[in-house]
Amino acid sequence: MRLVDKVVVSIGGSVLIPEKDDAKYIRDLAEVLKEVSKKVCLMVICGGGKISRYYSNTGKNLGGSTYQLDELGICVTRINAKLLSIALGDVGFDTIPVKPEDCANMASPGKVAVMGGTEPGHTTDAVAAMVAKFCGATRIVNASNVDAVYSDDPKANPNANRYSKMTIDELKTIIYDEHIACKSSIFDPLGVKIAKDNKIDILMINGRELSELKNAILGNEIKGTFINSH
């Protein structure tokens, strides 16, 4: 018998909540997830986006500690997870797990487990890697509003290289090079470490393009960047 692929999607909050026709995007996204969940065992981790940044900035102005600001961010990621779960209807769950292992155990073909953050100190990309590790996932699909990995900010530098394939060590170099400016802009460093240690590939794609998302989840050719961890 052929084993069913296990796939974890890390979806950025700004992708999930485009701030224009949000319900339409989330409904369309949920339809794609429902469809592909018949073929793979799917877990989706939701980010916080602009709303979590609003709470974080406001909390900071109120004197909140880094730990407390992270806690605010986690609350928002869980609200976003609940929203997606509602859109999934019977294919989703009423409960939003708070532990990666619970999320990993809940999903099965035809049932999509959705969660947000876990604890302070990292982002939901790292949570996606933890879930992937627990369930032995083949790949993590990082659905952000950037369509691929570039050697530099493509808006600032038109000569930036766009990668279609790279190794996880090459990704590490880019992340660590960017450390001083904005370390988590591509993928959370803890998430990269977990993916490397557990040989989980990462696919960086534009989450607004639902056909691209579907291809990435199903292991088909993608337009984004395939990061090989093997």
Please list the alpha-helical segments (H only) found in 37-99.
Answer: 49-61, 66-88
Determine contact, residues 123/13, Cβ cutoff 8 Å.
Answer: no
Residues numbered 151-210 forming contacts with ligand UTP, rule: CB under 6 A: 184
Residue 37 or residue 77: which is nearer to ligand UTP going by CB? 77
> Which residues pair with residue 149 across a beta bridge?
163
Segment contacting ligand UTP by CB under 6 A, of 26-34, 65-73, 106-114, 216-224: 65-73
Determine contact, residues 217/34, Cβ cutoff 8 Å.
Answer: no
Determine if 97 is a binding residue for ligand UTP (CB under 6 A). Answer: no
Determine if 225 is a binding residue for ligand UTP (CB under 6 A). Answer: no
Residues numbered 24-53 forming contacts with ligand UTP, rule: CB under 6 A: 47-48, 52
Burial of 109 from C-beta contacts in 10 A (0-12 / 13-18 / 19+): middle
Determine contact, residues 114/96, Cβ cutoff 8 Å.
Answer: yes
Residue 18 or residue 120: which is nearer to ligand UTP going by CB? 120
Residues numbered 106-145 forming contacts with ligand UTP, rule: CB under 6 A: 117-125, 127
Exactly one of 74, 115, 174, 175 binds ligand UTP (CB under 6 A); that residue is: 74
